[in-house]
Amino acid sequence: MDSFTSLAGLKVLELSGDIAVAYCAKVLGEFGADVVKVEPPGGDWVRGFGPTGPAPDSAVFIYTNTGKRTVVADLHDPADPIVPGLLAAADVVIGSASAEELEDRGLSPHRLAHDHGVVYVSIRPYGFAGPGAGRPGTELDVFHAGGEGLLLPGGLSYELFPDRPPVKAGRHLTDYDAGNVGALLALALTMRRLETGAGAFADVSKQDVAISLGRVTIDRQLNQGIRVNRADRGYDYGGIFPCLDGYITVRPTQDAFWASLATGIGRPDLVDDPRFATRGARETNATALDEIIRSWCATRRARDIYDQLAPLGTPVGYYSDAPALLTSEHAAKRGDLGEVSAAGLSLVVPRPGYTFDGRPLPGPEPWPPAPAQSSEPPPGWSTPRRPAAGDGRDLPAHGPLTGVRVLDLTWVAAGPYTTELLSMLGAEVVKVESSAKPDLFRQVPDDDAAGLNRSARFNSVNLNKQSVGINLQVPRGRALLRRLALAADLIVSNFRPGALERLSLTYDDLKDANPDVVVVCISSAGRGGTDPGYAGYASIFNSMGGLGHLTGYADGPAVEVRDSVDLRTGTVAAVGALAALLARRRGGAGTAVDVSAQQAITGLVGDSVIEYQLVGRVPWRAGNGLYDLWPYDVFPCRGDDEWVAVAARDARDRGRIGAVVGLDLAAAVSEEERRSAEAGIAAWTSARDATQVVAALHAVDVPAAKVLGGDDILRDAHVRERGLLRELDHPTLGPQIVVGAPWRIDGEVAATSPAPALGRDTVRAIRSWTGLPAAEIAELVEMGAVEATTDE
């Protein structure tokens, strides 16, 4: 089977030193870019970070560096002979150095971007600019500074352990999330460079990315003055339940899903039971309903439950561990599992979850061995790149997708966040809706009288868009939708497989009339495998994709990671969409992009699959822990539900922490001694405000962060200075503070406008995209084929 390569010939220079940077470059390499990794004398520190087994390098290094070549260079030495030639040849540069470090080396990102035409992507824990940009950071403190940590673990874990500290999700999740956003920007700005000949500088803060992924919950907190924590169940009924061999997630939200569940467990009588006959009744009687589900699941195995309920239409998922991910027949058939051979080993590597016209991504190629010192650039990098000529267009750097038309056929969160990200890059996004079957996020929970234009949840993932109301139940409505599709550059859908086929809007349906269109379909498991297209929500992607298994306390259950998982899927889909658009811009044609949400999440835990193959032990939940780092945890502070994340990167940090808290941490060797020392740290932090603890540890260059809630984020001077929080005047909700784009381009933040009322832009968008005269549009309104307005 042919593979899809959109970046062949594009030269990407990775300035080693950060897992997020490595993952960003890996993502671009997956699409065929030529990635050269610069390692310092002695090699990248990640080579020895975590388990290695028989391999010369760690699992996380192998996973984040497949397909690359490496060179040795000292970025801190202005006389190093190899760096200037590499920079002269590169199209994209990705790094994590601070402004001071780059200026000392004469590598100002602004100069690289604007004097040399390079796309420079900086990924740092707290960004390149802002009052807190120089803070030390690790995966642990950045995750908890992003707002999601205060929510985890909820559900069953919180019921069992309500007094334990919050935990982070996964292992390297924040790094992989930021790497995906970096890849998104590299693709968008490379498209702009082809149009204009100009480079650009993108500033990605891992903290901003983490906050952005939590926007559905955080926006509610910002505007309603509430503080959500682990006690918030998230789901009124359903969720995670123990079974004979692990845990299962069941999410029967809609009436049809509830009916399928009741039938599947042999209780069809419950469908019409007054306690459960409506969603409101089920929410009122959630305790009784959950007990019925819990009792049924307790006597069955997870896979048997899945096989019994999923074919009936119930959203259900078992919790995949590394062996399950490694042996997935569905993923293998789709091409979502690749194989690499190096250092005498053969390893299966999870892929990101895309197919393009049914074709998988190329490779993967082996990871690079430790490089030898050389004064010569690698083959193919000795010639300076040709300046991108461009075609004279004047595209703003902060709007590189200006002029790209996106037809949005999405709902809930994953698809809407895909198109929201594209809108933040300047694309014109038209969302097709209907009041007869509105987006679930338009409906305000617990308030049926609120109407369809008063939902903060909907606003959070539909910023900057236009809304066109179309009745797809009538022929002229469907014909109009097709006319819009023929005018689009990109179509995005996250309905279950079969929806676009019924509307005749697949790429095969459109390519004769619009050969350049890119059609992106997001679904739970993706097309082309063994899964027939079962229903799925974020909690299903989390469980089946492997993230839930790695999240939680070591002696506790797996954990549901919810809304943010949808947005992580949306980010991966946006990357795939831009890769396809860039392939078209470089001389190709349109294509169909299929995205598996489950595999998108597996891509964020792929190192655990490598680790399992190397050491033969199933990677397990570890709370906030990571490998042998210590102390590396969350500790209580003075106040109600106040916590601080403290992360020692090495023995030096450990000594500094000990000096601050008055303990000899170097003497704590055994597990019992370490637990005793951690109790001492907790006693010290418990007597102080979180801000005092963070200030004391930052003063000695130790990573630390308060575990932030939405109210804390609102007050965070660094976050506000970076422009992440945007103030809007929503036409029905009134003044709102929302999370904007998690990046800055050339120092500017993306423009942000509120989500539209349903049907607000029907007339204007139809005229602009199709050229229909006003009289014909008025006729369509009169006959009910389109909705031009809606009640507030």
Catalytic residues: 566
Do residues 382 and 29 lie in contact, with contact meaning Cβ atoms separated by under 8 Å? Answer: no
Residue in this structure with the two tokens 């200026």, named with its chain if needed: 103
What is the chain's alpha carbon radius of gyration, rounded to the nearest angstrom?
26
Cα 435–chain centre separation? 29
Burial class, 115, CB count within 10 angstroms (exposed 0-12 / middle 13-18 / buried 19+): exposed
- Name the residue among 737, 712, 561, 719 with its Cα closest to residue 641: 712
Convert 636-694 into a string of H (helix), E (strand) and C (coil).
Answer: ECCCCCCEEEEECCCHHHHHHHHHHHCCCHHHCCCHHHHHHHHHHHHHHHHCCCHHHHH
β-bridge pairing 490-493 and 466-470: unpaired
HSE on the CB side for 229, CA within 13 Å? 18
- 181 Cβ contact list (under 8 Å, min separation 6): 204, 209, 571, 742, 743
HSE on the CB side for 574, CA within 13 Å? 31
Here the tokens at position 540 are 């299903």
Give 729's DSSP letter. Answer: E
Cα separation, 29 vs 65, in Å, equals 9
Burial class, 440, CB count within 10 angstroms (exposed 0-12 / middle 13-18 / buried 19+): middle
Helix (H), strand (E) at residue 635: strand 632-636
Residue 351, SS3 per DSSP: coil
Cα separation, 356 vs 248, in Å, equals 32
Do residues 415 and 573 lie in contact, with contact meaning Cβ atoms separated by under 8 Å? Answer: yes
Here the tokens at position 325 are 């991910």
First to last CA, the chain: 52
Q: What is the dihedral of CA 653, 657, 659, 662, to 10 degrees?
A: -150
Cα separation, 466 vs 432, in Å, equals 9
β-bridge pairing 200-205 and 239-243: unpaired
Cα separation, 456 vs 736, in Å, equals 9
Q: How many CB atoms lie within 10 A of CB 346?
A: 9
Query: What are the E-state strand segments in 1-77?
Result: 11-15, 34-39, 69-72
Burial class, 121, CB count within 10 angstroms (exposed 0-12 / middle 13-18 / buried 19+): buried
β-bridge pairing 466-470 and 786-787: antiparallel
Residue 586, SS3 per DSSP: coil
AA identity, residue 239: G
